[in-house]
Structure 1
């Protein structure tokens, strides 16, 4: 451990700026830290203990939160992060977050970030960034969520769609391969159904999910475009290394071509898959 503490890796926005000091994590505080901390404390009061507990803010603009022990997947994601067990546990954990969050009153004047927010808004705070790097695992199952910096009001279905983009993953094969080495053995429609089942989506939400996923993908593209236009070196470099805007075009085309397939899987196909062209979900448990 250095004098500054143990550096924690992962993520893009705060890369190199997050440190663990014993039982605490120190990281740059978001602009709405006071409201976000109040929300996290309220979650705990409503029974959701799977998020960091805020401890305080420092004079130099950093926040202190409790450290949550466990395993966090980093790209390229190992097979253990892509098992059926892992996927089901992510769905259940997200549902727990939403059930607790539904009882928490949102501070509408807090200036929640709009970068990845649901364009339709909502009365519940969505995490908006449930990517593998922000989920803590224990014994192969999702145990906690971290990094609520992008949290903003929205529909629960929006959070499911954003989560699905990372955990299915909802990417064409060429785009998926660098970060998801095992993606060739994953069946996207089947995994989308598994996520919906583990979360407990209603039939109406299942029917709407493919369209919301495409909407979420467009919002994510706009987010990247804004960061690139602002000259953010992290996003400029990432865009260049990952295939530029052609990659985003390819992803969005791939999603559109599979909209009916996803709808069928969500509403009709049993988990595990069946029929021509269906491969089994990879599960290395």
Structure 2
């Protein structure tokens, strides 16, 4: 490794990521053509919240522009301004990707990041301003991505929060995305779907800890959030 290459630690999917000057060098371990197409397209759209794809180096590593800032290593507590900014950035990302869909992507709305949480966010001055890591992108529904994002950013399922507080924070997140409060019920329902899917994935992969965590989070979210956002609770519906 070149002495000027600085290892970027904390990644959970791709090992061997380094910083070289103002670029990130990332080993290519699978087909990255979709991610490269997306990043190039977002550059054409002048979307400034993602790295630029700069090509492939002599060691078959993708070259990405470096986004300055800090990246949280884990989930944690994020205040209202951070939640709102995270949701607003996701909205901008979704809006910018909508026109990239092809006829083969019928039934979808946008390109979903599918892992938009604090560990994939670049913070500047305390707010998330950049999105990184596009290993899991795919065409999908806005709510599918919003469900996972709310799960990650609000840490839904963490019993340190009350149901009332998480419902309030969910309203903040929905508003940050540009939705009315009534959409919080739909986001929460999709959060449970994503938690349940993660639990199943953990079981399939033999990751019992992840499966148990996600399963417990789904049960907590149903009991403390989704059931209370039903029409008999807060007078809300799943309509946007």
**Normalised-by-shorter TM-score class:** 0.7 to 0.9
Call closer, same or farther: CA 1:187–1:28 in 2, change over 3 Å.
Answer: farther
Given that residues 98 and 156 in structure 1 are in contact (C-alpha distance below 8 angstroms), is that contact kept between their aligned partners in structure 2? yes
**CA distance in 2: counterparts of 1:61 and 1:85, whole angstroms:** 39
Given that residues 24 and 66 in structure 1 are in contact (C-alpha distance below 8 angstroms), is that contact kept between their aligned partners in structure 2? yes
Given that residues 29 and 57 in structure 1 are in contact (C-alpha distance below 8 angstroms), is that contact kept between their aligned partners in structure 2? no
Aligned length: 234
TM-score (norm 2): 0.84
**CA distance in 2: counterparts of 1:17 and 1:84, whole angstroms:** 34
1:1-285 mapped onto 2 (5 Å cutoff): 3=3, 5-14=5-14, 16-29=15-28, 31-58=30-57, 60-75=59-74, 77=76, 82-106=78-102, 122-173=108-159, 187-201=165-179, 205-228=183-206, 236=207, 239-240=208-209, 245-258=211-224, 259-262=226-229, 267=236
Call closer, same or farther: CA 1:247–1:92 in 2, change over 3 Å.
Answer: closer
- Report the aligned-residue RMSD: 3.0
Question: Equivalent residue of 1:27, what SS?
Answer: strand
Given that residues 46 and 103 in structure 1 are in contact (C-alpha distance below 8 angstroms), is that contact kept between their aligned partners in structure 2? no
- For residues 81-128 of structure 1, give each alpha carbon's deviation from its aligned partner in whole angstroms, at most 9, with x where no partner exists: x1211111101101110111112235959xxxxxxxxxx962421001
Question: Equivalent residue of 2:13, what SS?
Answer: coil
**CA distance in 1: counterparts of 2:213 and 2:136, whole angstroms:** 24
Structure 2: runs of 5+ lacking an equivalent: none
**CA distance in 2: counterparts of 1:266 and 1:26, whole angstroms:** 50
Which structure is richer in relative contact order (CA contacts within 8 A, separation 6 or more)? 1
Given that residues 6 and 20 in structure 2 are in contact (C-alpha distance below 8 angstroms), is that contact kept between their aligned partners in structure 1? yes
Question: Equivalent residue of 2:91, what SS?
Answer: helix
Call closer, same or farther: CA 1:171–1:104 in 2, change over 3 Å.
Answer: same
Structure 1: runs of 5+ lacking an equivalent: 110-119, 178-182, 229-235, 269-285
Given that residues 124 and 153 in structure 1 are in contact (C-alpha distance below 8 angstroms), is that contact kept between their aligned partners in structure 2? yes
TM-score (norm 1): 0.72
Question: Equivalent residue of 2:136, what SS?
Answer: coil
**CA distance in 2: counterparts of 1:9 and 1:266, whole angstroms:** 45
Question: Equivalent residue of 2:70, what SS?
Answer: coil
**CA distance in 2: counterparts of 1:60 and 1:103, whole angstroms:** 33
Question: Equivalent residue of 1:142, what SS?
Answer: strand
Given that residues 106 and 125 in structure 1 are in contact (C-alpha distance below 8 angstroms), is that contact kept between their aligned partners in structure 2? no
